[in-house]
């Protein structure tokens, strides 16, 4: 058999003496799609960051195309043909899309002049291939999370590579976008490109990957062809025990509404949205990416200006012109783009949690660090958040554990109404179950929840009622046995109207 593209021998990694990856021996073959799964903090990102030279292994060695790698660094990795789509976006906000794609590898007309025309055309071609509606000249800070993800993908495939590493590329994409990405991956693999694919969406991993490696607590658990394992077995191997029911028993909400939204509009992003949320209810919001669900949430909590309509809380009309007012009116919001609005990665964990509820922590005009640490410790236990230490900076936590911190942060404001925007993004199966149970506990205690998710299974498994949005409008609100995948897709795509 031909030599492997990547061969690792006894790879281990420690951070300040803590071993997060131990004794990994694996061959990654040429042209295969190699899945990598494991719980949050299992060591997946660390493993690939060793391959692409962001980290040096503490022990062990690896070979690339049969050659022993002496000291990998990101620059060399790129030159050797290793491209990475990172888990956390790595784009420059104030630059355009095409400038980001060719950053550091600009095409030039001559020694002095950049070939802007060519770079823009190449960007246009890439976007066409990805079927993404993004113009080369869009600025990064003006595009959506899903579009940012597409730019990261485009950036990675803009250059021919031998190894394409994808660290959770689909968390913010919809099924259509994922289909496009998968067919692209298949083409690349047919051309001999090797792909390492990390994801918490086990169904996807099972579908797209040839083999799948499972890591648990930094240890190798198994490596098997995907046609020999089921999704369920993959989940069990990840957590090391038998998992049962995914969704908690649904609770019955009370009849009275806590939140009434009437004719809410916002400059074309949201048009004439009306709905109510009952006390103790989970109201799901489904729709395709760009349907306006996030924009609606942002309008309700005052990040975006409402141009028309009114918002009533417990029957009383409220002017919510800023997120602070939303907090004061008992509304908490867990944003979708945690990097842009949710958390501050170079702050420590306790500061991130207490940031918007600081008032609670003031004693004699000073913020009590003791109190901050106490409640942080409580949350860390309750949600099983893995931290290197309690005062660790957030950037040293694994992606999923950062998401948990973001969730806890909104909870710390003690809200009556909780808006979750894609709360399970990047979170492993067992942590997902924790979050579902947690949401269920919230509603059992009388808190009302708006649950935005692009995972239909989650929406159906969790919601008492489901509102569906399309192009900024609420196209249907489904109840009881109307809540089916078909009905939701109908309202989300507008197919129903076209048929008539």
- Kindly list the residues in this chain that would bind ligand ATP in the complex (CB under 6 A): 15, 20, 38, 40-46, 87, 386, 388, 396-401, 428
Q: Which one of ligand ATP, Mg ion, none is in contact with 396 (Cβ closer than 5 to 8 A by kind)?
A: ligand ATP
The item of Mg ion, ligand ATP, none sharing an interface with residue 388, based on CB under 5 to 8 Å by kind, is ligand ATP
Q: CB of residue 173 vs Mg ion: minimum separation in angstroms?
A: 17
- Residue sitting closest to ligand ATP (CB): 400
CA 424/CA 440 separation, integer angstroms: 14
Task: State in angstroms the smallest separation of the CB of 426 from ligand ATP.
Answer: 6
Q: Which residues bind Mg ion (CB under 5 A)?
A: 45, 87, 399
**At its nearest, how many Å lie between ligand ATP and the CB of residue 221?**
13
Tokens of 433: 């179950």
CB nearer ligand ATP, residue 343 or residue 468: 343
Q: What is the nearest approach in angstroms of ligand ATP to the Cβ of residue 346? A: 12
Nearer to Mg ion, 87 or 410 (CB): 87
How far apart are CB 227 and ligand ATP at their closest, in Å?
24
Cβ at position 419, least distance to Mg ion in Å = 26
Contact assessment for residue 27 and residue 397, using Cβ atoms and an 8 Å cutoff: no
Give the pairing type, strands 18-28 and 270-278: unpaired
Residue nearest Mg ion (C-beta atom): 45
Nearer to ligand ATP, 22 or 440 (CB): 22
**CA–CA distances in Å: residue 444 to residues 24, 283, 423:** 44, 14, 19
Question: In Å, how far are 163, 251, 459 from 207, measured between CA atoms?
Answer: 20, 34, 22
Residue 41 contact partner, candidates Mg ion, ligand ATP, none, CB within 5 to 8 A by sort of partner: ligand ATP
- Token representation of residue 396: 């040293």
Q: By C-beta, is 323 or 400 nearer to Mg ion? A: 400
Contact 97, 140 (CB under 8 A): yes
Residue 404 C-beta: closest distance to ligand ATP, Å: 9
Q: Toward Mg ion, which CB reaches closer, 45 or 424?
A: 45
Partner that binds at residue 280, options ligand ATP, Mg ion, none, CB closer than 5 to 8 Å by kind: none
Q: Which is nearer to ligand ATP, 35 or 41 (CB)?
A: 41
Tell me the closest approach of the beta carbon of residue 43 to Mg ion, in angstroms.
Answer: 9
- The entry of Mg ion, ligand ATP, none that residue 182 binds, CB within 5 to 8 Å by partner kind: none
Phi, psi of 268 (to 5 degrees): 85, -20
* Distance in Å, CB of 84 to ligand ATP, minimum: 13
Diameter of the chain measured on Cα atoms: 72
Q: DSSP string of 270-334?
A: EEEEEEEEETT-EEEEEE-TTSSHHHHHHHHTTSS---EEEEEETTEEE---SHHHHHHTTEEEE
Question: From Mg ion, ligand ATP, none, which one binds at residue 15 (CB under 5 to 8 Å depending on kind)?
Answer: ligand ATP
**DSSP state, 250?**
P
Task: Name the binder of 46 from ligand ATP, Mg ion, none, CB < 5-8 A by kind.
Answer: ligand ATP
Distance CA 83, CA 89 (A): 14
- Strands 473-479 and 465-470 turn out to be antiparallel
32 binds, among ligand ATP, Mg ion, none (CB under 5 to 8 A by kind): none
Residue closer to ligand ATP (CB basis): 20 or 433? 20
Give dist(CA 250, CA 141) in Å, integer.
Answer: 39
When the beta carbons of 223 and 367 are compared against ligand ATP, the nearer one is 223
- Which H helix or E strand runs over 141? none
Task: For the beta carbon of residue 344, count every other beta carbon within 10 angstroms.
Answer: 13
401 binds, among ligand ATP, Mg ion, none (CB under 5 to 8 A by kind): ligand ATP
Q: How far apart are CA 80 and CA 72, in angstroms?
A: 10
The residues near 105 (Cβ < 8 Å, ≥ 6 apart) are 158, 159
Counting runs of H as helices and runs of E as strands, what totals does the chain give?
Answer: 17, 22
Contact of residue 170 among Mg ion, ligand ATP, none (CB under 5-8 Å per partner type): none
Closest CB 228 distance from Mg ion, rounded Å: 25
Nearer to ligand ATP, 47 or 275 (CB): 47
Residue 115 beta carbon to Mg ion: minimum distance, rounded to whole angstroms: 36
**Whole-angstrom distance, CA of residue 33 vs CA of residue 224:** 12
Name the nearest CA neighbour of 295 among 178, 144, 438: 144
- Of 21 and 419, CB closest to Mg ion: 21
Q: Which of 397, 435 has the CB closer to ligand ATP?
A: 397
How many other C-beta atoms are found inside a 10 Å radius of the C-beta of residue 93? 12
């Amino acid at each position: 058999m031909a030599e492997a593209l990547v061969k690792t021998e006894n790879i281990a990694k420690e951070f300040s003496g803590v071993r997060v990856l131990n004794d990994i021996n694996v061959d990654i073959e040429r042209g295969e799609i190699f899945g990598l799964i494991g719980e949050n903090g299992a060591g997946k990102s660390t493993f690939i960051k060793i391959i692409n030279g962001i980290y040096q292994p503490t022990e062990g060695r690896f070979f690339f195309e049969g050659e022993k790698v002496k000291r990998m660094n990101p620059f060399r990795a790129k030159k050797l043909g290793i491209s990475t789509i990172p888990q956390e976006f790595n784009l420059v906000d104030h630059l355009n899309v095409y400038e980001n794609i060719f950053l550091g590898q600009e095409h030039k007309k001559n020694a002095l002049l950049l070939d802007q025309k060519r770079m823009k055309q190449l960007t246009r071609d890439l976007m066409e291939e990805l079927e993404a509606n993004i113009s080369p000249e869009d600025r990064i800070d003006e595009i959506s999370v899903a579009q940012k993800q597409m730019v990261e993908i485009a950036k990675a495939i803009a250059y021919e590579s031998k190894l394409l590493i994808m660290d959770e590329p689909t968390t913010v994409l919809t099924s259509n976008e994922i289909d496009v990405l998968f067919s692209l991956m298949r083409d690349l693999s047919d051309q001999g490109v090797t792909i390492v694919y990390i994801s918490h969406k086990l169904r996807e991993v099972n579908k797209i990957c040839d083999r799948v490696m499972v890591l648990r607590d930094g240890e190798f658990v198994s490596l098997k062809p995907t046609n020999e394992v089921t999704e369920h077995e993959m989940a069990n191997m990840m957590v090391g025990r038998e998992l049962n029911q995914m969704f908690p028993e649904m609770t019955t909400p009370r009849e009275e509404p806590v939140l009434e939204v009437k004719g809410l509009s916002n400059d074309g992003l949201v048009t004439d949205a009306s709905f109510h949320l009952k006390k103790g209810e989970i109201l799901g919001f489904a729709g395709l990416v760009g349907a306006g669900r996030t924009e609606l949430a942002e309008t309700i909590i005052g990040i975006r200006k409402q141009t028309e309509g009114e918002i009533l809380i417990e029957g009383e009309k409220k002017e919510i012109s800023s997120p602070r007012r939303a907090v004061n009116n008992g509304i908490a919001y867990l944003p979708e783009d945690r990097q842009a609005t949710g958390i501050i990665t170079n702050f420590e964990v306790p500061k991130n949690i207490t940031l918007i509820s600081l008032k609670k922590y003031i004693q004699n005009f000073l913020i009590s660090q003791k109190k901050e640490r106490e409640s942080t410790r409580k949350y860390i236990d309750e949600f099983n958040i893995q931290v290197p230490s309690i005062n660790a900076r957030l950037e040293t936590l694994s992606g999923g554990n950062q998401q948990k911190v973001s969730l806890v942060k909104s909870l710390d404001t003690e809200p009556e109404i909780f808006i979750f925007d894609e709360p399970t993004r990047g979170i492993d199966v067992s942590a997902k179950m924790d979050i579902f149970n947690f949401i269920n506990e919230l509603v059992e205690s009388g808190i009302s929840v708006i649950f935005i998710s692009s995972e239909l299974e989650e929406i159906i498994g969790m919601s008492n009622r489901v509102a569906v949005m399309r192009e900024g409008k609420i196209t249907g609100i489904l109840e009881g046995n109307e809540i089916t995948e078909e009905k939701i897709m109908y309202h989300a795509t507008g197919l129903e109207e076209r048929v008539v």
